[in-house]
Structure 1
Amino acid sequence: MAVKPEAPAEGVGAVDRALSILAAFRPGEAGLTLAELSRRTGLYKSTLLRLMASLERARMLVRPGEAAVWRLGPALVRLGLMAEGAEGPLRAFVPPVLRALADRTGESASFYIRDGEARLCLLREEGRHLVRDQLLPGTRLPLDRGAAGHVLRGEGGELVVTLGERDPELAAIAAPVRGPGGRLLGALTLSGTATRLGDAALRAPLEAAVAAAARRLSQDLGGG
């Protein structure tokens, strides 16, 4: 019979130090400076920079723009989802909302998260229109173009509409989804052709559907 080996009393120092960097972040923080990370971890800045370079390559830490400020990266979200399994909060609550939106509107429904200076399509439900915006979960798109990108950058308030911004033939409606403490978790989005979504009268019920679904999803995920 196989015997499970005992875990060694001591781990790998570099791994322990890297994990202490990730553990230094607290809910609701937009990012931490090198000085603050040094204060919280007790590590020298030179040591921090070496460890953080590895964490950045693995997308566990990201540094948006040129500022020396780091935040937790999208790789941790993906690992968290795998650890949570099918019953985890995002897996439990987001897909049914996307299916309901797609069924109700006929347009494609997506959930985006920020991935450095891009946005990542984390979850997706295709619409029923033959002509539609088609992409796969895991696709990265520009952060500075498209409704979801503006939401993830904190622009445009509680509802953003873009017409032909990323692609002249496409349009999108997006709203923020928030978790505990009001932390932005992602952008709930409907996307379709600029022809269909360009008509304000036809778009109005779609906007209302996205806004209502984002509010409900935020409540389900602890965002109040």
Structure 2
Amino acid sequence: MPERNQSASLRRALAVLDHVRGHAGLSLTQLAEAVGLSKSTVLRLTAPLVEARLLERDRRTGAYRLGHGTLQLGQAYLATLDLRAVAAEESHRLMSEVRETVHLVVYDHPHVVYIDKVENETNVRMASRIGSRGPVHATAVGKAILAWQPEEALAGLALEPITKHTITHPDRLRAELTHIRRRGYAVDDRENEPEVRCVAAPIFNHNDAVVAAVSVSGLTSRITAARVRELGPLVAGAASRISRKLGRPTT
């Protein structure tokens, strides 16, 4: 299907979903009339929405209503908003302390997604953008999360070289993850960008599961190898305080 047709179908499907949102239940005829489409078109558009549980159709009446999938999306969205709100104070405090860019990310295997960024306006700006993705194996935030994931998370992970410093051998990555768990923080030593170093630590939730990571990033001229050792405990401390605010059990 041409891209233009796919885009039009997506807009129509979203219009159907949005219209159902305001009603307790709509028949196929009512829904088709409301969105100005034929019943056969509405049936075609709603099929994948029902399959994804974004819509439900009553087996007896045939009426459409929102499905459980919308609740899951809403909960995921709220959880992300809560994480940003909880982490905001510590992220700003960390930036003020180290005078480097601070990132907050969540895990979306095989990537991390940047959901917040606090910059030191006097420094060179980092290229990262909120909403952008990074590879888990080549970023400090990714490795900080990956270190606490089950072994299956490594299976089939494409260890693509991003720079000449990227870890591309599974055994070397496993050894690195073991080291991260032991010291409590991860380092990206020019593995994702050739002139950037990053130090990150994992964030745990109330179930003691890693749900995110916080990091400090900067040019190698500012974040030297010696400074990495100073930043590690500071970033780990910020991550620990965020984790406690998320309800992580104390040990």
2:222 is paired with a residue of what secondary structure?
A: helix
Task: Give the SS at the match of 2:138.
Answer: coil
| 1:133 counterpart (126, 136, 144) | 126
Superposed CA offset, 1:4-60 (max 9, x none)? x8623999898677449xxxxxxxxxxxxxxxxxxxxxxxxxxxxxxxxxx8xxxxx
Aligned partners of 1:76 and 1:214: how far apart in 2?
A: 25
Deviation per CA, 1:113-154: give whole Å up to 9, x if none.
122311110111112442242322111112220211111212
Matched, 1:101 2:99: no
Return closer, same or farther for 1:13/1:136 CA change in 2, 3 Å cut-off.
closer
Give TM-score, length-normalised by structure 1.
Answer: 0.62
On the 8 A contact 1:163/1:198 being kept in 2, the answer is no
Provide closer, same or farther for how the CA distance between residues 112 and 77 of structure 1 changes in structure 2, counting only shifts above 3 A: farther
1:187-218 Cα distance to aligned partner (Å, 9 max, x none) = 11110112222231x33332221011111100
Aligned residue among 161, 169, 182 for 2:195: 169
Count how many residue pairs are aligned between Structure 1 and Structure 2: 164
Match of 1:8 in 2: 25
After superposition, residues 150-169 of structure 1 pair within 5 angstroms as 150-154=143-147, 155=177, 156-157=180-181, 158-169=184-195
Quickly say closer, same or farther: Cα 1:218–1:159, change in 2 above 3 A: same
Alpha-carbon contact 1:119-1:142 (below 8 Å) kept: yes
Find the residue that maps to 1:136 and give its secondary structure. coil
The corresponding residue for 1:37 is none
The separation in 2 between residues aligned to 1:178 and 1:81, in whole angstroms, is: 13
Residue number among 238, 241, 244 corresponding to 1:216 in the alignment: 241
Contact kept? 1:108, 1:190, Cα under 8 Å: yes
Alpha-carbon spacing, 1:219–1:108, altered in 2? closer, same or farther (3 Å): same
CA distance in 1, matches of 2:228, 2:121: 17
- Structure with more helix by fraction: 2
Larger Rg: 2
- For residue 92 of structure 1, report the CA deviation from its aligned partner: 2.3
**Aligned equivalents of 2:146 and 2:138: distance in 1?**
10
Residues 78 and 123 (structure 1 numbering): CA distance in 2 closer, same or farther, change over 3 Å?
A: farther
Match of 1:203 among 228, 234, 245: 228
Among the aligned pairs, what percent are the same residue?
23
- TM-score (ref. length: structure 2): 0.56
Distance 1:79 1:134, change over 3 A: same
CA root-mean-square deviation = 3.3
**Which of 122, 132, 136 is the matching residue for 1:143?**
136
Supply the AA of the counterpart residue of 1:207.
G
Checking the alignment, whether the CA contact within 8 Å between 2:100 and 2:123 is kept in structure 1 is no
Does the CA contact (< 8 Å) of 1:106 and 1:128 recur in 2?
no
Distance in 1 (CA, whole Å) between partners of 2:225 and 2:144 is: 22
Does structure 1 residue 79 correspond to structure 2 residue 105? no
Please list every run of 5 or more consecutive structure 1 residues that lacks an aligned counterpart in the other structure: 21-54, 56-71, 83-87
